[in-house]
Amino acid sequence: MDDKSIRLREQAKNEIRNGMKIDTSLYETDFKVLIEELSIYQIELEHQNQELYKSQEEIQQSKDRYLDLFDNAPIGYLIVDKNGWIKGINHTACLLLESSKDELTNNKITKIIHPDFQDIYYLFFRTLINQKRNQTCDIKLQKSSNAFFHARIQGIRQSHVTSNEPEFRLAIIDVTIQKEMEFKLLKAKEKAQENDKLKTAFLANMSHEIRTPMNGILGFADLLKEPDLSNELQQEYIKIIEKSGARMLNIINDIVDISKIEAGLMKLEIAESNINELVEFIYTFFKPEVEAKGMVISFKNALPAKDAFIKTDREKVYAILTNLVKNAIKYTNEGSIEFGYEIVETRHALSLLQFYVKDTGIGIPKDRQEAIFERFIQADISDKMARQGAGLGLSITKAYIEMLGGTIWVKSEVEKGSTFYFTLPYNAVPAILFEDLQLTPSEKNDHVRKLKILIAEDDEVSEMLISINVSEYSKEVIKTATGNEAVEICRQNPDIDLVLMDIQLPEMNGYEATRQIRRFNKDVIIIAQTAFGLSGDREKAMAAGCNDFITKPINKIELQAFLRKYFKNQ
């Protein structure tokens, strides 16, 4: 083909491409060739069209895939423009916000942000715009139900596909559970720190509370040694020693009780109890102390004596009332103390005994009326209201009341007085006769015969104390310091009436000694005595074969009550 033909062919091609009318006269000679070219070109064009269509399909598929991924991503996404308008939202975000795409699109994002977090969000968004870096913030978002949830938002800056304007993709994760856990952990940490502080204060107070009576005991015992001491002074010093000892014992009792409660080892001993008798006993017991302070004490029993029997743990109710009345006396300087109980009906038609202990004392400020029931809290040494005491009484009292199925609360006004209330279920039982161990000192023991007594005790001071306390009931006292010997003495003296058996004896403990004695003597009365009524001691003593159980330091009245119980009228 010559140059001219080539040129003409190119010209014809361009004319066809541009849709121009072809001047066929120009192409006569090459017409055939031209038609050929044309058909090749048409095939090329069709092929290109097919390619284009395929690419478009691929683009569409990839767009669909992206939208599917965006919509169903495990994270919520919002697309926001630079003015904060929501321009896109995925399905997960709709679920989190409990709204539809239509409801949220073209709304301001601030509409779904909790008012308290608007400033934090504003700062986050400004930084995202200005610094062009990814940003994270924790805020609260609002659902359509008006409920809020904790969200962690991560913002990424990007450009709009067509307009190239900046837009922001905000990833939203629900971190409510995490936040709640963080909150709980923080609270637990604060509580642990608070407890730590209070325990330190408690220990400091306890140390003071133990040292003070100890000081009294040791100091006045030393003074008693003075050779020229008048009889009057001697008696006075002895009284101080006694008082200090009693105070120390109270503290130790409280510590043991609270430890048992904390360890869940405090047990209930439910039996029929006469509530009226209990109230009257406490009244008689505290009357002299109240009157010595120049005050008046009175009591009120709502039930007639025959209906005043309930099933409860008598010792615990006694401890509860005693503690409340003791506090009333301690925190009142003038006026009166009144206590007793009433019957109240609950909404569920249950009858309750509602006890009260009312005083005209110093009162308790409103902000401390809950704290006083908490263990350790009242032990805070900065507490100016606390007078002598370990600060455990009310927490023990509250624990006892709750164990018995009741509740305790206080109504109080500073400088006017306080009334402590507590309830107990009123489960009346028919009146029966009770064996009352409580003897008043006036009750003489004339009708208890003289006894042959074995004292098994390795501690010299305790042994002396028991010997003195039983001296007026004994015709013969045998003493031993070991368990083995106690068994042997019993074997050789079948006429022994009573064994006072210490539990912590060397060689063979009191439980084992009792078990061995029981093999050959079922009748002798064995009373176990331990330094502290720790959990299970009573049960162990009874299981070993003891008749009864007494805790040290042995109280004369209590010991006499035991003797009367087992030997009266013999």
Contacting residues toward ligand ADP, per CB under 6 A: 327-328, 331, 359, 361-364, 372, 378, 385-386, 389-394, 418
The number of residues making up the chain comes to 570
CB of 357 to ligand ADP, least distance (A): 7
- CB closer to ligand ADP, 33 vs 386: 386
- CB closer to ligand ADP, 393 vs 510: 393
- CB closer to ligand ADP, 378 vs 469: 378
CB of 78 to ligand ADP, least distance (A): 56
- CB closer to ligand ADP, 389 vs 483: 389
- CB closer to ligand ADP, 222 vs 289: 289
CB of 243 to ligand ADP, least distance (A): 16
DSSP H helical ranges for 341-471 = 393-403, 460-470
Q: Please state, in angstroms and rounded to a whole number, the distance separating the CA atoms of residues 388 and 211.
A: 12
List all residues 6 or more positions away from 428 whose beta carbon is below 8 Å from its beta carbon: 307, 309, 310
First-to-last C-alpha distance (Å) of the chain: 155
- CB closer to ligand ADP, 395 vs 551: 395
CB of 194 to ligand ADP, least distance (A): 17
DSSP H helical ranges for 224-297 = 231-262, 275-292
- CB closer to ligand ADP, 198 vs 328: 328
CB of 248 to ligand ADP, least distance (A): 14
CB of 190 to ligand ADP, least distance (A): 23
For residue 510 the two structure tokens come to 């009191």
CB of 534 to ligand ADP, least distance (A): 22
CB of 533 to ligand ADP, least distance (A): 21
CB of 410 to ligand ADP, least distance (A): 8
* Residue 141 amino acid letter: L
In contact, 247 and 214? CB cutoff 8 Å: no
- CB closer to ligand ADP, 76 vs 389: 389
- CB closer to ligand ADP, 283 vs 562: 283
* Residue 116 amino acid letter: D
List all residues 6 or more positions away from 387 whose beta carbon is below 8 Å from its beta carbon: 330, 331
Q: Which of 180, 172, 165 is nearest to 124 (CA)?
A: 172
Rg (CA), the chain: 46
Q: CA–CA distance from 475 to each of 95, 453, 454, 462, 522 (Å)?
A: 91, 8, 11, 20, 22
CB of 326 to ligand ADP, least distance (A): 8
In contact, 24 and 5? CB cutoff 8 Å: no
Q: CA–CA distance from 74 to each of 96, 136, 179 (Å)?
A: 11, 18, 19
In contact, 425 and 406? CB cutoff 8 Å: yes
CB of 397 to ligand ADP, least distance (A): 7
Q: Which of 382, 397, 400, 329 is nearest to 359 (CA)?
A: 329
DSSP secondary-structure letter at 25? G
CB of 327 to ligand ADP, least distance (A): 4
DSSP secondary-structure letter at 473? G
Give the nearest residue (CB) to ligand ADP. Answer: 389
Give me the residue label for tokens 């003195």. 468
CB of 253 to ligand ADP, least distance (A): 12
- CB closer to ligand ADP, 363 vs 545: 363
3 state DSSP class of 86: strand
In contact, 390 and 330? CB cutoff 8 Å: no
- CB closer to ligand ADP, 406 vs 483: 406
- CB closer to ligand ADP, 394 vs 546: 394
In contact, 451 and 474? CB cutoff 8 Å: yes
The angle subtended at Cα 406 by Cα 401 and Cα 408, nearest 5°, is: 70
Q: How many CA atoms lie within 13 A of 491 on its CB side?
A: 11
In contact, 449 and 426? CB cutoff 8 Å: no
Backbone angles phi, psi at 136, to 5 degrees: -130, 145
Helix 510-520, helix 537-544: angle, nearest 10: 20
